[in-house]
Structure 1
Amino acid sequence: MKHTYRKCTHLLAGVSALIVVSLVGCGVGESNVVIGNREGILHLGNASEPTGLDPHVVTTTDASRILGALFEGLVTRNPWTLEPEPGVAERWEISTDGLIYTFHINPKAVWSNGEPITASDYVWTWKRALHPKTGNRNAYLLYVIDNAEAFATGAIDDFGEVGVKALEEAILQVTLRGPTPHFLVQLMHHSSYALHPETILKHGEMTDRFTQWTRPENFVGNGPFILEEWAMNRYIKVGKSPTYWDRDKVSLNGVVFYPIEDDNIEERMFRVDQLHRTFTLPLDKIPAYSTMPDTPFRTAPYLGSYFYVVNNLRAPTDDVRVRKALALAVDREKIARTIMYDSVIPAYGVVPPFIPHYTPPAPFAFNPERARELLAEAGYPDGEGWPGLEITYNTSEAHRKIAIAIQQMWKKNLGVEITLANQEWKVYVETVNQKDYQVARMGWIGDVYPSSFLELFLTDGGNNDSGYSDPRFDDLLISKGGQSVTREERYRYMQQAEALLMDAMPIIPIYSYTTRLLQHPSVEGMPLNVTQSINLKYAELVPGRTLPDSIR
C-alpha cells in the first residue's frame, strides 16, 4: 500500500542532519496537509529520531508513539476516558484475590503476516523481555508478575517458575506477586507488547538487540498500521494494516512521523500546512497563539516530570549536602513564569500533582540561604574549592534556556561555576545511560499511578540513571506498597517512599509538564489527556478545514 505525500525537502544545517520541508523554495504544489486530508495520511511532528523500534530496547516517548501504531497490547487505552479496553484480548477475568488474570485472545487477532496471535507468543515475548541478556531497561515494569524479578536478576533460570502460562493457545494466565490494581494500565505500555517469535529468531538470537527484524521489509507487528518506510532522520511512514482485527474502525490510511528536534522549525512547518500536529510549541510563541481567534493551540495537564538527574556516584554530587544545596538554590517559580510563560507547574517532587487520591509529601522550598549553609557544610563555602560541575542536556531551545537560567542561579546563590554541554539526542541518551555525566536534563512520562514515577529509582532499576539506592525505599515501594490490598494503604507507603527519595535528592525537580502543541482543525479523534496518549485507531481527518488566516 503506497501513498503520496509532498517530498519537497532540503537539508537544514544544525538540526542533526534532519531533512525537513523547505519553507522558502517549495511554494509550488499542494501541501502535506491538503494531500493528507484527501488521502487519509496524517503528518505528525515526533520530537526526535527513535533509537530503534524494538519494544524491549527503546525507552523514549518518540519511539513509543510509533510502536503504538505498529503494535497492540492485550488491552489498549481509550483516549477519552483513559480506561483499558479490549485489544488482543477480547475479554479477561480477575480472581477475587486480585492475583490471577486470565486473558482470552481474540480469535480475529493476527500478526501482519496473517498468522494467529497465541498465548504462547506472550509467554515467549515476556521471557525475552525479562531475560538478563536482553538488557531491557523497562523489564521492571513486569516485576509485578510472580517470580518475574527473580528471573530477570538471575536468581532463578527456569522461566516455567514465572507466573505466565499459556493454558491454551488462546488463553493466557498471569499470576501476580501481589494485588496490583493498575496491572491492566501497565499492559498498555510497549514493554508488554507481544512480538512474533519466528521474526525475531530469523534475524538473530532471542536476546539480540538492534537486529534487522525492525527494518520495514522484515517487520511483523499486530497493530492498526504496518511499517512501510524508515528514512533515517527524515521520517517514518506507516500504512493501514489489512490484517488488523478491528481495521474497519481505522479511518486513516497512513501516518508519517517526523523527527524534528527544533521547535521553531516544527512550528513553521505547521504554519505552511506541512504538519497536522506538532509535538510541542516554542515557548515564545505561546502568548501569540493563546490570544489568536480560532487558535490551533492546545494545552492540558500532562503526567510528566521535568527534572535534573544527579549522578550520585561522582563527586561532588555524591554528597547529599551538595545535591540538596543545588536543589534549594533553584527558583522554580521564576523559571515557570519567565522562561516557560506560565505554561508549566513548578515541581518539588518527582510525582506530578495530577494523580487522583495521591498527595505528594510536603515540598521543600526555594531557600538560597539554607543552600549556602549546606554547601559550606560539604566543604565549599561560597563556592571556595568547588571542583566544577557540568549540566548535560539534549538539543532544544527550551532545555538550553533552562540550563542557562539554572547556571546563573547557582552562580548567584552558591558562588559556583557551571559549564553546559549540549548533545544530539542519541549521544545524550547514551551519555546518561552510561552515567557519564554529573547533572543531566531528564523528563519522565508516567501513568495514572504514582509508582510509575517512583519505580525509576529502585536499586539497579533499568531506568535508574542516578545511581541512587536505598533498601528502605525499595521495601516501601515493592514489599509494602506492592503487597497492600487497599489503594489508601498502598499510596501511603508510596508517599513515604517519595519522602525518602526527596530527602536524598537524587534528582532536582524543575516542573510538572503540560501538553502544548498545535493541531490542525482537520484532525479529529486525538483528544488531549493527562497521559498524552494517542490511539491512532480513532484518529481521522476531515477535508476542507483550514487554518485561520491570522496564522500565516
Structure 2
Amino acid sequence: TDWATNVPTDQIAAAEMRDDFHKSPQLATYYYVFQTEKAPLDNPLVRKALAYSVDREALIEGITKAGQIPAWGIVPDMAGYKALEFPFDSMDEAIEQAQKWLAQAGYPNGAGFPTVSILYNTSEGHKQIGEFIQQEWKNNLGINVVLENQEWGTYLNSRNVGDFQISRAGWVGDYQDPNTFLDMFITGTAMNGGQYSNEIYDLLINEAARVSDPAERFGVLRTAEDIMINEDQALMNLYYYVTLNMIDTNKWGGWYGNTMDYHPVKDIYLK
C-alpha cells in the first residue's frame, strides 16, 4: 500500500527507521479529571501531589509506546500557543515536591489518605494506563487506588454527572485554537464533570472571546490555563496524541503532516 494511517504499536520502533514514516503531533490530549467537589480531591495540594508524581515519559515508553508527547497542560502546541512546560528540573525533584504537597495536605507519606478510585471506559489500553498510575502513586506517595471500569454509555453518564473521584478523559480539538480545550471547564458546563469552578478562570475565558488581536487573545487564554493547571490542578494531563502515517513523500506530493491529521485526497498527486 502507498499510504498507511495505522502503524501497530509493536512495529513503531522499526517504522521510525524508515524515510516514509511520519509522526506528527495531534491536537488531542489524554488526561485524568479530578472531582474537585469531594474530599480528598477538593484540596488543590492533593491534586498537585497526584499530578506531579506520575512519570509521563516512563508511561509512554513502557505502556502506550506510540511516541506520544508528555503533557503537563491541557492545550497541545499549536501555531502561536506553546504547551505548558514541565516546571521541574527532573522527575525526582517533582516527586519530592509532590510528597511535600501531600504532607502539607495532612497525609505525610500517604498516612491516612483514603483509597480513591480511577474510573475508565472498558478498554485494555485505558486499564494498563490506570495500572501504571496506580503503581506510581503507591510507590511515590504511599497511597492506594482502585480501578473501576464501565462500558462507554455508563461511563459517559458517570462522568457528566460527576459520579467519580478521578476519571480518564480525552479530547480532540475541533479547531486550531486553545479555546476548544479551555471552554469545557467554565463553571457549570456539561463537559465539566469534575465540577471545576474558578471565577477568574470564567472571566478570562469570556474576556478572550471579546479580544480581536490574536496574540493578545492567546495571552488571555494562557493566563486562564495557567490558573486551571498550575494553580488549581483541576486535571492531570498525561500525553498529547500523535498521528502515525506511512507515505513516501518523494513519490507523492501534496501530503503534509498536520495537527488535525487532515489530508484531502484531491490535493495528493504522483510526482
Same topology, TM > 0.5: yes
1:483 aligned counterpart, secondary structure = coil
> Which residue of structure 1 aligns with residue 259 of structure 2?
530
- Larger RCO (CA within 8 A; separation ≥ 6): 2
1:281–1:399 distance in 2 versus 1, CA, 3 Å: farther
Structure 1 ranges of 4+ moved more than 6 A = 523-527
SS at match of 1:422: strand
Equivalent residue, structure 1, for 2:10: 284
Aligned to 2:134: 407
Counterpart secondary structure, 2:226: helix
C-alpha separation between the residues in 2 aligned to 1:535 and 1:458? Answer: 34
The residue aligned with 2:33 is 309
- Cα displacement string for residues 353-380 of structure 1 (whole angstroms, at most 9, x for unaligned residues): 2x11123455434411111111122222
Matched letter for residue 371 of structure 1: A
Task: Deviation per CA, 1:210-240: give whole Å up to 9, x if none.
Answer: xxxxxxxxxxxxxxxxxxxxxxxxxxxxxxx
- Structure 2 contact 119–166 (Cα < 8 Å) conserved: yes
Equivalent position amino acid for 2:240 in 1: S
Taking the TM superposition and a 5 Å limit, the aligned residue runs for 1:143-292 are 280-291=6-17
Secondary structure at the aligned position of 1:465 is classed as coil
Deviation sequence 1:155-207 (CA, Å, 0-9, x none): xxxxxxxxxxxxxxxxxxxxxxxxxxxxxxxxxxxxxxxxxxxxxxxxxxxxx
Q: How does 1:54-133 map to 2 (within 5 A)?
A: none
Give the AA of the match of 1:435.
Answer: G
Alpha-carbon distance in structure 1 between the residues aligned to 2:39 and 2:67: 34
CA deviation digits over 1:448-501, x for unaligned, max 9? 11111111111112221221011101111112x122121121111111111101
Aligned mates of 2:262, 2:123 — CA distance in 1:
22
Partner of 1:189: none
Q: What's the TM-score, normalizing by structure 1?
A: 0.43
CA distance in 1, matches of 2:157, 2:267: 34
User: CA 1:291/1:494 → structure 2, altered by over 3 Å: closer, same or farther?
Assistant: same
2:150 and 2:4 map into 1 onto residues whose CA distance is 26
What CA distance in whole angstroms lies between the structure 1 residues aligned with 2:145 and 2:52? Answer: 16
Q: What amino acid is the match of 2:27?
A: L
The answer on whether the counterparts of 2:9 and 2:66 sit within 8 Å (CA) in structure 1 is no
Q: Does the C-alpha gap of structure 1 residues 328 and 484 become closer, same or farther in structure 2, counting only changes over 3 Å?
A: same
* Corresponding position of 1:364: 87
d(CA) in 2 for partners of 1:312 and 1:517?
39
**Alpha carbons of 1:399 and 1:527: their partners in 2 closer, same or farther (altered >3 Å)?**
farther
**Contact 1:283 1:339 survives alignment (8 Å):** no
Structure with higher helix content: 2
CA spacing shift, 1:324–1:468, aligned 2, 3 Å:
same
The partner residue of 1:385 within 68, 88, 112 is 112
**2:175 matched to 1:451?**
no
Q: Does structure 2 retain, via aligned residues, the 8 Å contact 1:320–1:505?
A: yes
Describe the superposition over 1:119-177 as per-residue Cα deviations: whole angstroms up to 9, x where unpaired: xxxxxxxxxxxxxxxxxxxxxxxxxxxxxxxxxxxxxxxxxxxxxxxxxxxxxxxxxxx
Q: 1:289 to 1:506 in 2, by over 3 A?
A: same
2:46 equivalent in structure 1: 322
Please give the alpha-carbon distance, in whole angstroms, between the structure 2 residues aligned to 1:361 and 1:534: 28
The root-mean-square deviation of aligned C-alpha atoms, in Å, is: 3.0
Check the 8 A contact 1:311/1:318 in 2, yes or no: yes
Is 1:472 the counterpart of 2:200? The answer is yes
Matched, 1:432 2:167: no
Alignment coverage as a number of residue pairs: 261
Q: 2:65 aligns with which of 341, 346, 353?
A: 341
Bigger radius of gyration among the two? 1
How far did residue 308 of structure 1 move? 0.8
User: Unmatched 5+ residue regions in structure 2?
Assistant: none
Residue matched to 1:487: 214
Q: What is the distance in 1 between the residues matched to 2:255 and 2:161?
A: 36
TM-score by length of 2: 0.84
Local SS of the residue matching 1:405: helix
1:324: Cα distance to partner?
0.6
**Aligned equivalent of 1:418, options 145, 151, 173:** 145
Q: In the alignment, residue 54 of structure 2 is paired with which amino acid?
A: V
Does the 8 Å contact 1:308/1:509 carry over to 2?
yes
1:389 Cα offset (Å) = 1.1
Q: Quick one: distance in 1 between partners of 2:67 and 2:113?
A: 35
Query: For structure 1, which segment, 282-291 or 445-454, has the greater mean C-alpha deviation from structure 2 after superposition?
Result: 282-291
Q: Is the 8 A contact 1:361 1:496 kept in 2?
A: no
Change (3 A) 1:309 1:517: farther
Distance 2:27 2:187 in 1: 23
